[in-house]
Amino acid sequence: MIKKTIIIALIVLAAGFLFWNNLNSPVDQNGQEQIFVVSQGETVSQIAENLRTNNLISSVVYFKYEVWRSRLNLKAGEYAIGPKLSAREIIKILSQGQALSREKTIRIIEGWNLNDINNYLNKNKIVAMDSFLSLANRPVSQEWRSSYGLPDNADLEGFLFPDTYRIDKEATAADIIKKMLDNFQKKLTPAMAEEIKRQNKSVYEIITMASLIEKEVRTPEDMKIVSGIFWQRIENRQGLESCATLAYILGVNKPQYSVADTKIDSPYNTYKHRGLPPSPIANPGLNAITAAIYPKETDYNYFLSDPATGQTIFSRTLGEHNLNKAKYLK
């Protein structure tokens, strides 16, 4: 009996050893090399999670253990890494700083406003301090005002398309802005522009609406429903009552805003003023822009986001909405 127990224990230990050792194996022997970025200040846990998300390692726990065991420091930079590499080989590359030399990657997130983008570029020392904001805050050119129906005092808020960009290490703020504007022009297709025109709306109105939608809800389907609710409110001469505009004014997100918040004296307060705010409040992604152009008609009139899950809770009547607020926004 004792002998049998020992044999079983040895088998279990051998299986465990093989399983653990297998976590070092390449994820995909046929996988393609990709650009992987380690930003300044990122922890080993964050780096490991990003590697796993990009399917470059099979286990976050194993990667973190091997970094700890080897006592190596992972260095910030941009790396060409493929799933053909083992976890230990990746650790060696990141610890030796074998980064790419000429280009770097920046990632602009959907819903960031000009200040958010400027802070990101400053933090990562991408361009000269605040040089992005000084350019992006300026009134746009006559060409852009004519092409997209922008008012005379409009800046670039809303038109700097969120995406992942490869830029030269010596790129200036002007170079980055040009890339983002060129990308916006590619994403707004002739068919989309024609549909906006057919609706007797301007691109500026669409992008302003899209910026609200981007900040209100997460999924493409929810965005289309919220778009339908908001456009219907405008048609009915109701206030949009968008919490995203209160967050923009106050500079803070709250699960539920107070009555005092809704009375703030600002042209961006859509609880106090009807119609769209004077300008976009953020830079929306393609899903939000598409939703603003192609809203979905429903019999919903109200919505809120569950702070615990991010799920959008829709309701048809004010009574239902108030019940949902009591249930989800405690």
In tens, the pLDDT along 306-328 reads 988 989 999 999 999 999 999 99
Of 58, 79, 101, the one marking the end of a domain is 101
Considering the entire predicted model, what is its pTM?
0.71
Same domain, 198 and 297: yes
Average pLDDT over residues 21-36: 81
Same domain, 321 and 207: yes
Average pLDDT over residues 232-251: 96
Between 229 and 256, the higher pLDDT residue: 229
Of 68, 101, 134, the one marking the end of a domain is 101
Q: Which of 5-14, 128-137, 260-269 has the lowest mean pLDDT?
A: 5-14
pLDDT value for 5: 59
Q: Which of 51-65, 123-137, 221-235 has the lowest mean pLDDT?
A: 51-65
Structural domain count of the chain: 3
pLDDT value for 182: 94
Helix axes 286-293, 190-198, angle to 10 degrees: 30
Q: Is 263 exposed, middle or buried (0-12, 13-18, 19+ CB in 10 A)?
A: exposed
Same domain, 248 and 319: yes
Same domain, 324 and 245: yes
Between 86 and 275, the higher pLDDT residue: 275
Same domain, 62 and 122: no
Same domain, 164 and 246: no
Tell me the residue range of the domain where 166 lies.
110-187
**Percent of the chain at pLDDT exceeding 90:** 63
3-state helix, strand, coil in the chain (%, to 5): 50, 10, 45
Same domain, 235 and 310: yes
Going from the C-alpha of 279 to that of each of 22, 23, 210, 225, 302, the distances in angstroms are: 54, 51, 11, 22, 23
Q: Under a CB-based contact definition with an 8 Å cutoff, are residues 123 and 169 in contact?
A: no
Same domain, 50 and 24: yes
Same domain, 163 and 199: no
- Tokens standing for residue 25: 């194996």
Same domain, 196 and 284: yes
Of 167, 187, 207, the one marking the end of a domain is 187
In 3D space, the residue among 140, 321, 114, 304 whose CA is nearest the CA of residue 211 turns out to be: 114
Q: Give the chain's mean pLDDT.
A: 90
Same domain, 26 and 119: no
Going from the C-alpha of 84 to that of each of 16, 21, 235, the distances in angstroms are: 23, 16, 56
Between 136 and 150, the higher pLDDT residue: 136
Same domain, 13 and 79: yes
**Residue 294 binned pLDDT confidence (cut-offs 50, 70, 90):** very high
- Tokens standing for residue 256: 């539920």
- Tokens standing for residue 268: 């961006």
For residues 107 and 110, give the distance between their C-alpha atoms in angstroms, rounded to a whole number.
Answer: 10
Average pLDDT over residues 125-136: 94
Within 10 Å of residue 97's Cβ, how many Cβ atoms? 13
Output the CA torsion sign for 174, 176, 179, 185.
negative
Within 10 Å of residue 184's Cβ, how many Cβ atoms? 22
pLDDT value for 250: 95
